[in-house]
């Protein structure tokens, strides 16, 4: 198991431009070898212990060299997209760089969705693609594709290797770029003739890229301004994003929140930036955030945005977002500052370093909280508008996904488990009801919203953190995107668990069609799903299907106790909706479907939705699929 301290140390070594491994001067230094052997030596020098991939003609020399490595485990996926998501899940769980190795043409293009997923969520990854020989590049040779050109908008940087003279320098820079600043995927395209060329191996001990100088330390004047605004605010709120997780800034975030008693809302990527058990944690904000978190944003007079990018799913209607608040925006990527929301105090820098500086400034000022009245008001909202209550159910005789996932959450050890999700309704139910205490233990595709991500990501997370219980929350639609990776889990003895919330529909789009398109369910119904239990059996997995609420406890216990891959198919009504919800384009205080305990636990609607039509607050029971 990789400790939090080691994850932080890896990040620091990346910032300093040093290899992750024991040192760049490996036993390969000064030896004559082929380019393919040098590639493997580079990976070993970076401390890579696992790569995910799929072989092919233009990568065959690299795979031949990999055959002799005693330090690197190769995980053979069943599809290159699956391999890329595995590397992504591995990177998110461990804090290391995920590594992918595939061949040219279709092998390379199959990684595109996985690369884009990592890029949108700032995940460090190095993707190595085989390429046709240099002499035929541009001639439409067999299995040639311009993967550098294809992926240009979705990588942090890319390299097309032209000579073995630049091979080791390229790998050193690729890992450095992927893991420093705002992390992201880097692609290295390698013509196959270079893999067979001889060279002398020398691995750079450090990196010097004049055009790439990430800013880690925030401007002192802006830090001072931020501290002063925090002291003056009467209704402050922290919005924690994925940057908190990436920079290991959770202790600094909690220190600020607790010193000044500031409530914290989190984005999807920022879940567990502050422990769910901390009373200051208001949880998710935005389209499927809680009503109380969204109200806190709307009524706040100061928002401290930490490593968050103000995505449309968080802000809703931008010109009505936080109308009374001044904004402090901390982000390592200067391109994010002012892109969506113009801040009063912009601070470019690593959020861990910047928050530490703000905390030190507040300590010198002797700052104390002045927002007790605000905090108590927000906490009262939390009591009034909970996500869910045990005495409320849309379908009393059916399995409620909220109850299912809260029960699962209670059964998981918060200190030794990781939850991944696919994308859709189940993702939002998991966001709302799975409680996490540590960063990097809730893994989900946020920016791209990639169906098919969660299951292979769970395999990667389990391989990276073998001592953790890893559970993927999936929908029946999303799971079928990459279900072939069941073979990968079984053959590699990776005992991941998959819980399918099975409504025989593409649930989120189905819900939108119900709310805004007059129940015109255009191609979102999956009545012809396979029998998932039989599918699991075909791959050698253990599996079970449940349909009744009284089966939930025993089924979850059986799943979690299994030392083999296990699939649990949980049948829920097709018409089940995930609430609360903010309609697309509406302000985030325009909330439908929130429970109000002062009204007896009924769902309420605050405003109309114009041309989109009014939502059905209590879903119809007609046509419920048993």
Lowest mean pLDDT among 12-26, 289-303, 448-462, 535-549: 12-26
pLDDT of residue 17: 58
Give the residue among 468, 293, 448, 273 at the shortest CA–CA distance from 351.
273
Q: What is the pLDDT of residue 622?
A: 36
Per-residue confidence (pLDDT) for residue 606, from 0 to 100: 46
Which residues make Cβ contacts (< 8 Å) with residue 116, sequence separation at least 6? 154, 448, 450
Q: Is residue 432 part of a domain?
A: yes
440 in the Ramachandran plot: left (φ > 0), alpha (ψ -120 to 50) or beta?
left
Judged on CB neighbours under 10 Å (0-12, 13-18, 19+), 114 is buried
pLDDT given at position 605: 64
What is the full DSSP assignment across 483-541?
GGGHHHHHHTT---EEEEEE-SB-HHHHHHHHHHSTT---S-B-TT---HHHHHHHTT-
Cβ of 383: how many Cβ atoms within 10 Å? 10
User: Residue 56: phi, psi to the nearest 5?
Assistant: -170, 175
410-440 per-position pLDDT tens digit? 999 999 999 999 999 999 999 999 999 999 9
pLDDT band at 390 (very low <50, low <70, confident <90, very high): confident
| pLDDT above 70 (res 480) | yes
Same domain, 334 and 446: no
First to last CA, the chain: 42
Q: Note whether residue 534 is domain-resident.
A: yes
Cα separations (Å) of 264 from 240, 252, 292, 346, 375? Answer: 7, 13, 11, 19, 11
Are residues 240 and 296 part of one domain?
yes
Q: Let me know whether 380 and 406 are in one domain.
A: no
Domain co-membership, 267 together with 184: no
pLDDT tens by residue, 162-216: 999 999 999 999 999 999 999 999 999 999 999 999 999 999 988 999 999 999 9
Number of domains making up the chain: 3
Confidence of residue 391 (pLDDT cuts 50, 70, 90): confident
Q: How far apart are CA 77 and CA 102, in angstroms?
A: 10
pLDDT tens figures, 89-132: 999 999 999 999 999 999 999 999 999 999 999 999 999 999 99
Could you list the residue range(s) of the whole structural domain that residue 449 is in?
401-571
pLDDT digits (tens, 9 = 90+) for 12-36: 665 555 555 544 467 889 999 999 9
236 within domain boundaries: yes
Distance CA 274, CA 251 (A): 8
| 281 and 236 part of one domain | yes
Query: Looking at the structure, do residues 559 and 478 belong to the same domain, yes or no?
Result: yes
Q: Which residues pair with 24 in a beta bridge?
A: none
Q: Which of 356, 384, 412 is the last residue of a domain?
A: 384
Q: How far apart are CA 7 and CA 23, in angstroms?
A: 17
Does residue 443 sit in helix, strand or coil? strand
Q: What is the CATH number of the domain that holds 467?
A: 3.40.50.970
* 338/414 Cα distance (integer angstroms): 36
CA distance 123 to 445: 11
What is residue 625's predicted lDDT score, i.e. its pLDDT? 39
546: left (phi over 0), alpha (psi -120 to 50) or beta: beta
- For residue 2, the model assigns a pLDDT of 61
pLDDT tens profile 278-298: 999 999 999 999 999 999 999
Same domain, 132 and 233: no
Pair 444, 557 in one domain: yes
Which position has the token pair 């030896």? 31
- Cα-to-chain-centroid distance, residue 270: 9
Q: Is residue 470 part of a domain?
A: yes
Q: Is residue 305 part of a domain?
A: yes
For 237-258, how does the pLDDT look when each residue is reduced to its tens digit (9 = 90+)?
999 999 999 999 999 999 999 9
Helices and strands: H and E segment counts in the chain: 24, 23
Please check whether residue 145 lies inside any domain of the structure: yes
Instruction: For residue 543, give the 3-state DSSP assignment.
Output: strand
* Alpha-carbon span 372 to 38, nearest angstrom: 61
CATH classification of the domain holding 342: 3.40.50.1220
Of 571, 594, 617, the last residue of a domain is: 571
pTM: 0.93
Residues 418 and 277 reside in one and the same domain = no
Q: Is residue 505 part of a domain?
A: yes
Co-location of 343 and 421 in the same domain: no
Q: Taking all residues of the chain, what is their mean pLDDT, rounded to a whole number?
A: 92
Question: How many of the other CB atoms lie within 10 Å of CB of 162?
Answer: 12
CA nearest to 94, candidates 421, 422, 472, 438: 438
Q: Give the pLDDT of residue 499.
A: 98
pLDDT of residue 602: 75
CA pseudo-torsion sign 602, 606, 608, 612: negative
Three-state SS for 14?
A: helix
pLDDT of res. 4: 62
Domain co-membership, 444 together with 518: yes
Last residue of a domain, one of 170, 200, 230: 200
Same domain, 348 and 430: no
**Selected residue with higher pLDDT from 11 and 400:** 400
What is 210-250 written as a DSSP string? TT-----SPPHHHHHHHHHHHHH-SSEEEEE-HHHHHTT-H
Q: In this predicted model, what pLDDT tens digit does every residue of 295-324 receive, in sequence order? A: 999 999 999 999 999 999 999 999 999 999
* Inter-residue contact 66 to 72 (CB < 8 Å): yes
- Distance between CA 275 and CA 158 in Å, rounded? 37
The answer to whether residue 580 sits within a structural domain is no
pLDDT at 619 over 50: no
């Amino acid at each position: 198991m990789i400790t939090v301290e080691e994850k932080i140390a890896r990040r620091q070594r990346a910032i300093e431009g040093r290899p992750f491994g024991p040192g760049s001067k490996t036993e390969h230094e000064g030896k004559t070898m082929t380019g393919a052997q040098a590639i493997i030596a580079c990976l070993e020098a970076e401390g890579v212990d696992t790569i995910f991939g799929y072989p092919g003609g233009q990568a065959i020399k690299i795979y031949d060299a990999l055959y002799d490595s005693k330090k690197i485990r190769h995980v053979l996926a069943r599809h290159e997209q699956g391999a890329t998501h595995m590397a992504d899940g591995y990177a998110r769980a461990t804090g290391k760089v995920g590594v992918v190795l595939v061949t040219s043409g279709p092998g390379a293009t199959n990684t595109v969705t996985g690369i884009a997923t990592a890029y949108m969520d700032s995940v460090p990854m190095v993707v190595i693609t085989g390429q046709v020989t240099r002499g035929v590049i541009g001639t439409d040779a067999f299995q040639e594709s311009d993967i550098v050109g294809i992926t240009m908008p979705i990588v942090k940087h890319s390299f097309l290797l032209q000579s073995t003279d630049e091979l080791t320098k390229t790998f050193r820079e690729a890992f450095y770029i992927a893991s420093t600043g705002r992390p992201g995927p880097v692609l290295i395209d390698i013509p196959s003739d270079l893999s067979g060329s001889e060279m002398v191996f020398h691995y750079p001990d450090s990196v010097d890229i004049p055009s790439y100088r990430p800013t880690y330390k925030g401007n002192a004047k802006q830090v001072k301004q931020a501290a002063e605004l925090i002291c003056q605010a009467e209704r402050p709120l922290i919005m924690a994003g994925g940057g908190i997780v990436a920079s290991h800034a959770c202790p600094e975030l909690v220190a600020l929140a607790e010193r000044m008693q500031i409530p914290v809302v989190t984005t999807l990527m920022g879940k567990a930036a502050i422990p769910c058990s901390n009373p200051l944690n208001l949880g998710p904000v935005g389209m499927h955030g809680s009503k109380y978190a969204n109200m806190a944003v709307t009524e706040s007079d100061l928002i401290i945005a930490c490593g968050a990018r103000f995505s449309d799913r968080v802000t809703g209607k931008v010109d009505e977002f936080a109308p009374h608040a001044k904004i402090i925006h901390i982000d390592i990527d200067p391109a994010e500052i002012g892109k969506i929301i113009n801040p009063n105090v912009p601070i470019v820098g690593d959020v861990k370093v910047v928050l530490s500086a703000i905390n030190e400034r507040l300590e010198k000022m002797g700052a104390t909280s002045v927002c007790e009245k605000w905090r108590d008001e927000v906490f009262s909202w939390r009591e009034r508008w909970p996500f869910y209550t045990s005495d409320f159910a849309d379908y009393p005789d059916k399995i409620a996904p909220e109850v299912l996932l809260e029960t699962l959450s209670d059964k998981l050890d918060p200190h030794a488990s990781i939850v991944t999700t696919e994308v859709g309704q189940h993702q939002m139910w998991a966001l709302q009801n799975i409680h996490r205490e540590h960063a990097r233990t809730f893994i989900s595709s946020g920016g791209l919203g990639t169906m098919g991500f969660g299951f292979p990501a769970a395999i990667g997370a389990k391989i990276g953190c073998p001592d953790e219980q890893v559970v993927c929350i999936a929908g029946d639609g999303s799971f079928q995107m990459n279900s072939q990776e069941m073979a990968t889990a079984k053959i590699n003895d990776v005992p991941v668990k998959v819980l399918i919330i099975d409504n025989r529909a593409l649930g989120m789009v189905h819900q939108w069609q119900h709310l805004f398109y007059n129940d015109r369910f255009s191609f979102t119904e999956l009545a012809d799903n396979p029998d998932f239990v039989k599918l699991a059996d075909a791959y050698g997995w253990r599996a079970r299907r449940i349909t009744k609420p009284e089966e939930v406890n025993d089924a979850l216990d059986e799943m979690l106790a299994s030392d083999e891959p296990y699939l649990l198919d949980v049948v829920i009504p097709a018409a089940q909706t995930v609430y609360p919800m903010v309609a697309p384009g509406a302000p985030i205080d325009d909330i439908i479907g929130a429970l109000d305990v002062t009204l007896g636990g009924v769902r309420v609607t605050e405003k109309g939705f114009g041309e989109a039509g009014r939502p059905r607050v209590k879903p119809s029971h007609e046509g419920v699929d048993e």
